A and B are shown apart, each in its own frame.
Chain A
Amino acid sequence: MERHTIEPRPGWQRTVEEQGLVYPLTRYPDGSLRPYWDESAYYSFTLPEVEALEEVVEELHAMCLAAAAHIVERNRFADLGITDPRVAERVAESWRRRAELPSLYARFDLVYDGTGPAKMLEYNADTPTSLVEAASPQWFWMEERFPGADQWNSLHERLVDAWKRQAPLLPPGPVHFAHSETDELGEDLMTVAYLRETAEQAGLATEALSVERIGWDRLSRRFVDEKLRFIRSCFKLYPWEWLVTDRFGKHVLSTLDNGGGSGTTCWIEPAWKMLLSNKALLAILWELHPGHPNLLPAYLDGPRELATTTGWAAKPLLGREGAGVTLHEPGDDPAVRDEPCCYQGLAPLPDFDGNRTLLGAWVVEDEAAGLGIRESAGAITDEYARFLPHVIL
């Protein structure tokens, strides 16, 4: 794994916009716009490096599914902060009927510097973004810059295939695709538009709207779109914990199609993804596989020995895009935070030429599907991170 600088292609901004990265810039707190897609550098990997990472991803994915089964069997929902018994019951049912429920994709965040084992930071299994840039502009960049080379990136093909394969699980009618209007940067909209495109390419009929515009018909007691058509299935880039706690949450639970037409609205990703996207998963993984080379120690009751060994990261159970994460050096006060957190051993992101690098390893259905690399200036990968392409040489 090496970082190389390279001259950006002339007109790269327009190019990547045409390739689906509709918002290639990020607005900074000072109001300035800076590139999010950054092709002034790239990373190269060897094939053995990528094949080893693939194996790690598929093993971690299998371990996460086993942890989800454990949470359901041992009724450990309270550890995840899921205290509403109706929600727990629906999630458990969703897990048991998962073979009947469409489920598309997820992203592992890994710490890896080309040496030593990759370490899992978390699993974004409910609402992962940074998908478009990995699937499309990154692929076209390789075609142009390194024709004939390879890339760990079969995302597009696999997403289209996944929709085709799972089409029989979908209820009749179009699949609705919903994003949230509160994301003014447009990343959510872009991700949803791209996934809608992959569904269309799989031959599915689709409709699009925002979650804010989803209607509840009090007479038919069903979710409807803006044209009052029933929403029978909906891909939502909207976290489950909000879906079930918003004002319409009770309707989500009462009409949930949790497999086999058991309700009137089937949501994608399915409810059991709540088990994986919750940071408590990290502590449960460590409990089930203590000392595993690809895991970091993680606890729910405080930093324990991490207070004196490696230091720790305190992560709110439901945080997103690095929000609310605090980092602590060994010797810091091992105080437990007010909100429920996971306390995970500190694994500093590797430094490549002054950039802090994080690997996003994609899973489509149950298989490793590709890589997206983000760099940030600081130790936490946040909404100001930049995306850099990679190639296998």
Chain B
Amino acid sequence: MRRLRSSTVVLGGMGVLAATITACGAEPDRRCADPVTLEELPGYRCDTGGSVDDDDDDNGSSSRGAYYYGGSVSNARVSGGSFDKKAVDTGGFGCSSSGSSGG
């Protein structure tokens, strides 16, 4: 016999999902990387406050790392993120309306 209904409906805690969907405080992951070669570097190479290692002359300008936000590491190189968190602009959607977007 033909049935027009779903045989089962399973929901895995959607209420929890709905509550967390707007959770605040999401900070991007960051990692230290060479701004020129995009190679991931140990964290101390990005430490600020400490002196820049003037004696490190193994590769001049790339001796100093910078924080790379977001993205991922593949073959020891960062990609898919950004060195400049300030380069990200937000609030470009959702300002033209009030009320429901659905219908």
Contact = CB atoms under 8 A, between A and B. Distances in A.
B36 interface: no
Interface in B1-50: 3-12, 14-15, 17-18, 20-22, 26-29
A32 interface: no
Contact of A217 (B21, B88, B102): B88
Contacts of B71: 228-230
A301 B95 CA distance: 31
B87 A219 contact: yes
Contacts of B26: 209, 225-227
B101 A180 contact: yes
Interface string B41-83: 0000000000000000000000000000111000000001111
A275 to B, nearest CB: 16
Interface of A: 17-20, 22, 50, 54, 124, 127-129, 132, 135-136, 139-140, 142, 150-158, 177, 179-183, 185-194, 196-197, 200-201, 208-220, 224-230, 237-239, 242-243, 245-248, 251, 277, 320-321, 323, 370, 383, 392
Contacts of B29: 227
Q: Most chain-A CB neighbours within 10 Å: which of B6, B91, B97?
A: B6
A188 B101 contact: yes
Given A182-B99, A182-B100, 13 more contacts: A17-B15, A20-B11, A127-B103, A136-B9, A193-B17, A208-B20, A214-B92, A219-B87, A228-B81, A229-B80, A237-B101, A238-B93, A321-B102
A180 B9 CA distance: 27
Contacts of A323: 99
A248 B93 contact: yes
Interface of B: 3-12, 14-15, 17-18, 20-22, 26-29, 69-71, 80-85, 87-103
A100 to B, nearest CB: 23
Given A150-B4, A157-B7, A193-B14, A208 B21 contact: yes
Nearest to A54: B4
Of B14, B80, B83, B100, the most chain A CB neighbours within 10 A belong to B100
B3 A127 contact: no
A246 B17 contact: no
B4 to A, nearest CB: 5
B103 A139 contact: no
A154 B103 contact: no
B5 A153 contact: yes
A139 B9 contact: yes
Contact of A190 (B7, B18, B91): B18
A228 B88 contact: yes
A212 B85 contact: no
Nearest to B1: A150
Given A216-B92, A246-B92, A201 B70 contact: no
Contacts of A216: 88-90, 92
